[in-house]
Chains A and B, each alone.
Chain A
Amino acid sequence: MLITCPYCGPRDVIEFTYQGDGNRERPQPASQDLDAWNAYVYDRLNPAGDHNEIWQHSGGCRAHLRVVRNTITHEILSTAFARGGHKAEGRS
């Protein structure tokens, strides 16, 4: 599988670390809503199809990416920096 890092270009999956479901929202740090915290930590969307995920290019520039990937075909539909910004600097 190849993932196109917006900075480094297409790289083999071996350079990346999967960080899971990118749809999860972390509650505000001071939130006392335990159900929201539990959902954030334990519950995952696990679709058979397009999936919004976080990957880290740990064997490259170490940036975290938002990747939309099809879990049936492994086709990568899009990648972008998770943090935003720096996009203009990317390799097309």
Chain B
Amino acid sequence: MSPRRTETGGRIDRLRTIRFTFDGAPYTGHIGDTLASALLANGVTLFGRSFKYHRPRGLLSAGVEEPNALVTVLSGEVREPNIPATMVEIYDGLVAVSQNRNPSLAWDIGAVNQLGGKILSAGFYYKTFMGPVFGPLKGTRFWMFCEHFIRRAAGLGKAGTAPDPARYERMNAFCDVLVVGSGPAGLMAAKAAADQGARVILAELEAHFGGSANWSGETIDGMLAADWAQRTVGQLEGNDNVRLLPRTTVWGYYDGNTLAALERVTDHKEVAAKGEPRQRYWAIRAGTVVLATGSFERPLVFPGNDRPGVMLAHAAERYAVEYGVLPGQRIALFTNNDSAYRSAVALKKAGAAVVAIIDVRGDVSTEMRRLASEAEAELLAGHAVVATEGGKALTGLKIQRFDAMSGALSGDERSIHADSLLMSGGWSPTIHLASQAGAKAEWDPARQAFLPPTPTQRWIGAGAFTGSFSTAEAIAEGRAAGLQAAGGAASSAPVPVVEAAPGDPDPAPVFEIKAKGKSFVDFQHDVTADDVRLAHREGFVSVEHLKRYTTLGMATDQGKNSNVPGLAIMAEALGKPIPEVGTTRFRPPYTAVSIGSLAAERFGDLKPERLTPMHDWHIANGARMYSAGLWYRPMIYGLPGETVEQAYVREARATRGSAGIVDVSTLGKIAVQGPDAAEFLDRVYTNTFSTLAVGKARYGLMLREDGLAFDDGTTWRLGEQEFLMTTTTANAGKVMQHLEYFLDVIWPELRVTVTSVTDEWAGAAIGGPNARAILASCVTGTAVDNATLPFMGIAHGQIAGVPVMICRLSFSGEMAFEVYSGAGYGTRVWEALIEAGKPFGLVTYGLEALGTMRIEKGHVTGAEIDGRTTARDLHLDWMLSKKKPFIGSAMMDREGLIAPDRLELVGLIALDNRPLSGGGHIVEQLDEANPHHSLGHITACCYSPALGKYIALALVKGGKARHGTRAFVSDPLRNRFGPIEIVSNHFYDPDGSRMHG
């Protein structure tokens, strides 16, 4: 048995030994132990090093608020840093290491910072490191030089770089009543609500339900509180309406009574079951929330209060009662309130010697005196601890007479030999979630604590959360809250009877003992009482300034230990009551929450993949895929040994030479249907669609309300009241929302429905001089000649036994057809077209060749319709109807949109016959060393097999007026400079004779 383990007691299983390592050394513990309790049982006193001074630190607490004992848990290559040892349940094979020390926890060179002492006071960074004004370290250089070392010295644990193999999941849950916290109040609330038939979720952040019932030693309903808790949990377990969530921290209270919780599903297990997530992120929508979150015990601020061996009183009680571990053999307690007396008795019962109870109050009640003598402790009323002794473990302490009213110390120091000092500075209700929910906490001068605000969302408080620190109150409030939350009537049935030690819930208003030496307020960040006073001296007096200037409350415990003492010290310095210093509003999360859990199922899978019907065919046939938004599209179908440029040039050349086929299924497609469909399109497009004949298509342009170009595409009239609109791939969703907005909000009188049919249709565009011949050889049910299928005509037929819709339109500039079939037939039709094209040397082509041919034609896409260009900029003003208003028509002629210096679409030819790059800029005068005076930029470029040149589209100031002039490409980022000629964007077949056939 370990040196500090008691023979009996606690919920650990002494028969089952667990082996783990800490900093490489092997240790054993028992089932039911936390890493903290197991190490404590092994006599470990040194758990961590503080942030700034690297001071040795031991355990302060037994729960989530632990600021000192932070460890990194290793699992193979994967690291989980900054976990409080108090929250790690041990399992066989657990590997934990300490942090922020070099080379070891016992010998840490960072501790030299302690010599800096008063120089490293609050705010010292702001006052130095500015460096020289002249010379090689001017500007920011000196600071950055210093910062390099500061950064390496700072920081707690080390993050891993190996991808985390664990699974994280999200769960959306709905309930009538969410109970947060499972102490006596929470258990009663859950039970009462469940008995009313409500859907209840009970969340407990620790591994075991019961909260303080697990260690209070009190009696409820005639049985030990811990047994009562277990019985109640058993009753809840049997109820179908109840979901019990142990190891689940409710960390966020969001709008709409939506709460976020983190369940640690497998962190305590050696191995997870197949498919089991490591952590589950619960997004809970609750009808009503019962907040039964309890309270935190506060440390006292006095010199040496950070020495390993100084611990919160109730934490020691928990270690003794729940884990069967004594924090020391000779224990002293230091308190400003009654609760520590119960702790003393509990520790005495567990087998420790309680040498003294030092109480700042001169006047201690008879009941407490009785408890002190029950603990066989010397009661030193009207005294205070003024120093602690020892190195990496406590050896003793010094006390003096103390006057609680004035804070004055008097008399001689007296030494007390002790290896454990327990402190209690009063209790702060855990009001974080209520504060997150949107309201301000209120200071209660009797309790010396912030109490929960008036609810701004649907929650009800119960127990210590409300400042009702006795178990009897907790049980009564819990039941009332549960009933109210479930909509039940108040019950007159008797509540369970509680037998508990007496105690006054109100502490003496003493937070700090002012004596010589460093007194810590924020343990992890090494913020001392003097730092708080320095902040006051320098004018950083509001609570937010205090936090930000000293970093008080910014450590991983988020001020759970330091918030109130820090405020109290500032209030005293200001001579104002605490609430006038301000209250911190708490924000999510209540405790730190893993990023993996928040990414949940999207960890490793950020976005779904959107696939066309022919996707598998493309992959099987050597396509290199290109990610376009969520879609995957073939970029090239490369042959072995081909470069990308060689591949697209081959594909484009073959298309213009004979025929090529490309998958265009990703184009946005919207069914526009109804009696007013044509009228609607007239309003939406800049050009007219009501005049379009059934069976014909037309190219259309849309503007935004502000008059800038929005999107373009062809729209096909399939029937009198039925249109098929196509959009660019990228804008499909935006166009859909645009149309829906106008139909729903602006013109509700129009009888039109719009439906996304993008996924209904597979689309293949086949173009080139032989495209028609290929079609003719495989299409049945319709002719494809000029008469049946003129330019922009639509025909219906079959390919490979399935219906197809064919529209003769061209993006490539060749005689071309878009063949649409039901998506489930997409591959079948595609393969039939490929088969039919074999005699003609039909090639498949990808986005690169598609882009090349469109650049040759001077068509615009998203690179040119980039949200900043007008129809005129793009030479599409011929599409702006003057006969009717349309969206954007009133706004498109404003001063700034017709200014002469706007960027206009042009073509470019590289005169040095070298490749151009998208994003290169255009200048009149080349200055490679100091590029300046950009005229515009390249939006798209390629090698044009049709022209035998490197060409580009560009947006250039003065645009058209520069046709035929020379300029330079200036691309300093890629060191590409050279002469170009500015030409029309219509490089190839400008009169369109090839596509008109």
Contact = CB atoms under 8 A, between A and B. Distances in A.
A and B touch in the complex (CB under 8 A): yes
B255 interface: yes
B397 to A, nearest CB: 50
Given A2-B255, A17-B737, A83 B744 contact: yes
A2 B706 contact: no
B988 interface: no
A37 B705 CA distance: 9
Contact of B891 (A41, A56, A62): A41
Contacts of B737: 17, 56, 58
B741 A56 contact: yes
Contacts of A37: 890-891
Contacts, number: 63
Given A27-B890, A34-B890, A73-B456, A64 B741 contact: yes
Contact of B254 (A1, A19, A26, A58): A1
Contact of B285 (A2, A41, A54, A63): A2
B interface majority secondary structure: mixed
A83 B255 CA distance: 27
Contacts of B706: 41
Contacts of B744: 56, 63-64, 82-83
Given A1-B255, A2-B258, A63-B744, A29 B891 contact: no
B683 interface: yes
A29 B683 contact: yes
B745 interface: yes
Interface residues of A, number: 30
Interface string A63-74: 110000000011
A32 B746 contact: no
B890 A19 contact: no
A12 interface: yes
A17 B706 CA distance: 20
Nearest to A72: B438
Nearest to B704: A41
A26 B285 contact: no
B604 interface: no
B824 interface: no
Contacts of B516: none
B274 interface: no
A54 B744 CA distance: 11
B302 to A, nearest CB: 42
27 contacts: A1-B254, A1-B258, A2-B255, A2-B257, A2-B258, A2-B285, A10-B285, A12-B258, A12-B283, A12-B285, A13-B256, A26-B746, A29-B886, A30-B885, A37-B890, A40-B705, A54-B745, A58-B737, A63-B744, A64-B741, A64-B745, A74-B256, A82-B744, A82-B748, A83-B743, A83-B744, A84-B748
Contacts of A85: 748
A17 B705 CA distance: 18
B607 interface: no
B894 interface: yes
B218 interface: no
Contacts of B885: 29-30
A17 B890 CA distance: 26
Interface string B689-716: 0000000000000000110000000000
Contacts of B683: 29
A64 B705 CA distance: 18
A86 B171 CA distance: 33
Contacts of A1: 254-256, 258
A52 to B, nearest CB: 13
A64 B740 contact: yes
A4 to B, nearest CB: 10
A32 B891 CA distance: 9
A32 B889 CA distance: 10
A92 interface: no
Interface centre among A2, A19, A31, A64 (most CB of B within 10 A): A64
